[in-house]
Structure 1
Amino acid sequence: MKNNQQQNLQKGLMPRHVQFIALAGMIGTGIFKGSADTLNIAGPSVIVAYLIGGLLLFIIMAALGEMALAFPNLNVQHLVNKAFGFQVSYLIGWLYWINWILVTVVELLAAGSFLQYWFPSVPLWLLSFLCAVIIVGINLFQVKYYGELEFWFAGIKIIALIAFIILGLLLLLGLIPSNIQDPISNFTEHGGFFPHGLSGTFSAFLVVMFSYGGAELIGVAVTETKDAERVLPKIIKGAVWRVIIFYVFPIIIICGMMPWNKVTGQDSPFVQVFSSTGLPGAAHLMNFVLLTAVLSAANSGIYATSRTLFSMAQSEVAPKVLAKVSSKGIPVAGIMLTSIFILAGVYLAYLTPSQVIGYLMTIPGFTVMIIWIGICAAQLKLRPHYKNQPAFKVKWFPYSTIFALISLSIIFIGFLFNANNLIGTIVSVGTIAVLIILSFKYRKPKGNKIIA
């Protein structure tokens, strides 16, 4: 690869930018709107699913951070290429791009649905289209400006979640007057803590994985991060416990403040909770926060898709034109290609406005698990071949990585045979089959592993 400005991304991201970019990718529709789905599937026991998912998340992020330090300037797709070569890299790279395309579309559709809280007569597709135009425009700025804007975007929703947790605890403890009489009964009645049994808890993992997907965005942003070796371990450790708190605590509060079977899914459970308290203006304020939250996640999604296309083009997994960047260091071609597919997602909202979010939310759960399985397998393969031992390593290797690999595989197989996930299964398996065929068709005769 030529070493000039036109073919290199700028290292314009500060440590705080990277940490908040990863948080922004993980804290979006999955918690603010998807929590309604997980509560309907599993009831209060969804808390268990979020905790187990958080443990797997930590192992994945630690494995990714270790590899990123052992092989500087290589992101997720590069690392898989180095471990397994062109064909697996082709599959994982394009799956990751498809995953983030779907996530971005879901976030933008969710933004449109939150806007409908104020503009109920405006169609979902039009509101989502306007949000898409704004987010694409933001990503055409230099990466340092994108990082700064995303820092504040993500900051709003993190502050809001903290405020929601504090306010919710005060309401549950009776320190603020409300119509909540017996919070504990909401966990024990209405079918109990496991209203749909362990199978219900297991079924919720698909949306939980969708929710936590975005952690690996650190492995994309590391190539544009200053002093990555020093800051990456802190970013990983800090991001994981924050995300677990921001998922588990709000779910506990929602379950305590209202029966889980009263969560409709039409509005965000967060807005429902505040509406039920009778606090003046609280629901409108929360809806505004939710809007900025999903726009933030969509912002991260466009960043992820454009940088994934850039790295795939570098390793000849995608057309070379996608490796070109502007004078500002922005992969404009990748952003434009992503925008075309986002418009296709908005068109789906035009066709089926009432069903599109639910359908699209299940598919990234499949792709996230495959990508996480690929990260675990790559670490197991590459660990013996480190030239320089990184300062940050996964504890209890290889047992922890093997545990995550087996757990994710079991969850993935379980979903494939779950009749409730039929549409997601067909789309996911069909996409994987097409990518495998294409990987053989476009296979380079001399192999093209990334050189560390």
Structure 2
Amino acid sequence: MGQTKGSLQKQLKPRHISFMAMGGVIGTGIFKGSAETIGLAGPGVIVSYIFAGLLLLVVMAAMAEMATVYPNRNMKDFIREAFGEKVSFIMGWMYCFMWLSVCVIEVIAAGSFLQYWFPDVPLWGLSLACAAFIILINLLSVGTFGEFEFWLAGIKIAMILIFIVLGAGLIFGIIPSDHTPYLENYTISGGFFPNGWTSIFSALLVVMFSYGGSELIGLTLTETENAERILPKVVANFILRIILFFTLPILIICGLIPWNQLGPDSSPFVQVLTSTGLSSAAHIMNFILITAVLSAANSGIYGASRMLYSMAAAGEAPKSLAKTNRNGSPVNTLYLCAVILLAGAMLGLFAQDQLFRILMAVPGFVVILVWICIASSQWKLRNHYPIKPAFKVWGYPYVTGFVVVCLSVIALLFVFDSQSRFSIGICLAVLTLLTLWSFIKFRPKQDGNGRSEIG
């Protein structure tokens, strides 16, 4: 029997939270997108990953600080506390829009990878099967979901660690190969910054998409016991792992293969596994890619459904979306996500290539807006906290302000990037509609005594 709002279960453990957020981050962005970022900036793209990682560190720390002051509240609640219901309403719906776009991308990608083993099955059928599998996992209890995502993300992380060890062995001749490159590939073919140092800013547009999903931790707070005590520790460990899981593989890829020999359609990971002499490298990599995209879609459905639940509980979305099943999962929001995934899979039947191009830039741009709101919320609320925070962001207000400025500049780069123009146009159109909707929804109304109140 369904339950009403306010009955999410507190079953997520620190390891679930860390791996869930990493599951949302470590996906196609690193396994396939790394070839694109290296093509934009060469070996110097490592600077882009480190810089974006430092920005992310401050955003995550800001969220951890606010969690120690406002327990049992999530990141949308922090934004609402700082900037009011209109901004909270807009960012909540934009975040749902972002994750549902990601889920459609990942489900179609999973279907395309499965076609490697099932070439006679149509893409839409495989994509629908993947969507049904993800929805089923999310309908289980949150503890079961967290455990599943823990192991699903663990496979990806193990793959990256194996890749780093094998790659380092090849670079320094520990593993025999036809040619031991040592460090020569970092400087040949144009040097460390073959396209100029400004290319690191062009690569940032793709890197931000790759890091998007880290803020998913901010939605787990209402389903985690003692979140205000656990979160600062989780953030500290998580951000270190994220930077290492992106920067070390990129260094290995650039050390093994000259940057200008990576094709946009190839997977650098496949090339490394093949060079080790593993005859079944393609099958291994295909399994890892399927695991990666399903894990990212799994985290994405969690993010979209929990944000919708939070908005319904706050009166910012239909109240029916706050209903949960006996496992404590927001069942109606999951049904809505299922319908959208179904539609996305069917769109892939008619316009697969166009759909990828349209949707890929959406997550990167929206996640920057969300990060700006999180950092700005901490910057504004710090001097008005009801209690002293148990954890504080360093260098306030200068560090937070610097991060907000940097993220704003990157957002502008997105807007003026010619390749992303159509996608960003869609984002801006959705943002405009949501802004108008917020003014209508929260417009002041006159009560019987002529006083204004928010309707």
Task: Give your verdict on TM over 0.5.
Answer: yes
1:192-203 mapped onto 2 (5 Å cutoff)? 192-203=191-202
Give the conservation status (yes or no) of the 8 Å contact 1:15–1:226: no
Residue 210 in structure 1 maps to residue 185 in structure 2: no
The alpha-carbon deviation at position 122 of structure 1 amounts to 4.1
Residue 254 of structure 2 is matched in structure 1 by 255
Give the conservation status (yes or no) of the 8 Å contact 2:156–2:292: yes
Residue 177 of structure 2 is matched in structure 1 by 178
Give the conservation status (yes or no) of the 8 Å contact 2:141–2:327: yes
Q: Quick one: distance in 2 between partners of 1:130 and 1:261? A: 37
Q: Quick one: distance in 2 between partners of 1:41 and 1:342? A: 32
Give the conservation status (yes or no) of the 8 Å contact 2:216–2:303: yes
Q: Which 4+ runs in 1 deviate beyond 6 A?
A: none
Residue 28 of structure 1 is matched in structure 2 by 27
Give the conservation status (yes or no) of the 8 Å contact 2:324–2:330: yes
Residue 387 of structure 2 is matched in structure 1 by 388
Give the conservation status (yes or no) of the 8 Å contact 1:86–1:447: no
Q: Give the unaligned 5+ runs of structure 1.
A: none
Residue 186 of structure 2 is matched in structure 1 by 187
> What whole-Å deviation, never above 9, does each CA across 1:8-62 have from its counterpart, x for those lacking one?
2111111211111111111111111221221222222221110000000100000
Q: Quick one: distance in 1 between partners of 2:117 and 2:185? A: 30
Residue 341 of structure 2 is matched in structure 1 by 342
Letter in 2 for 1:223: T
The alpha-carbon deviation at position 189 of structure 1 amounts to 2.5
1:269-418 mapped onto 2 (5 Å cutoff)? 269-418=268-417
TM, length-normalised to structure 2 = 0.93
Q: Give the unaligned 5+ runs of structure 2.
A: 445-452
> What whole-Å deviation, never above 9, does each CA across 1:347-372 have from its counterpart, x for those lacking one?
33222333433432211110000000
Give the conservation status (yes or no) of the 8 Å contact 1:180–1:257: no
Cα separation, partners in 2 of 1:113 and 1:316, compared to 1, 3 Å: same
> What whole-Å deviation, never above 9, does each CA across 1:167-195 have from its counterpart, x for those lacking one?
11111111111234425333223333223
Give the conservation status (yes or no) of the 8 Å contact 2:62–2:378: yes
Cα separation, partners in 2 of 1:398 and 1:6, compared to 1, 3 Å: closer
The alpha-carbon deviation at position 275 of structure 1 amounts to 2.5
Letter in 1 for 2:34: S
Q: Quick one: distance in 2 between partners of 1:392 and 1:227? A: 14
Q: Quick one: distance in 1 between partners of 2:339 and 2:221? A: 26
Give the conservation status (yes or no) of the 8 Å contact 1:69–1:229: yes
Q: Quick one: distance in 1 between partners of 2:413 and 2:375? A: 19
Cα separation, partners in 2 of 1:209 and 1:184, compared to 1, 3 Å: same
Residue 124 in structure 1 maps to residue 89 in structure 2: no
The alpha-carbon deviation at position 283 of structure 1 amounts to 3.2
Q: Quick one: distance in 2 between partners of 1:151 and 1:84? A: 34
Residue 448 of structure 2 is matched in structure 1 by none
Q: Quick one: distance in 1 between partners of 2:112 and 2:271? A: 14
The alpha-carbon deviation at position 248 of structure 1 amounts to 0.5
The alpha-carbon deviation at position 293 of structure 1 amounts to 1.9
Q: Quick one: distance in 1 between partners of 2:112 and 2:265? A: 9
Residue 162 of structure 2 is matched in structure 1 by 163
Give the conservation status (yes or no) of the 8 Å contact 1:207–1:361: no
Letter in 2 for 1:170: G
The alpha-carbon deviation at position 267 of structure 1 amounts to 4.0
Give the conservation status (yes or no) of the 8 Å contact 2:7–2:324: yes
Secondary structure at the residue paired with 1:178?
A: coil
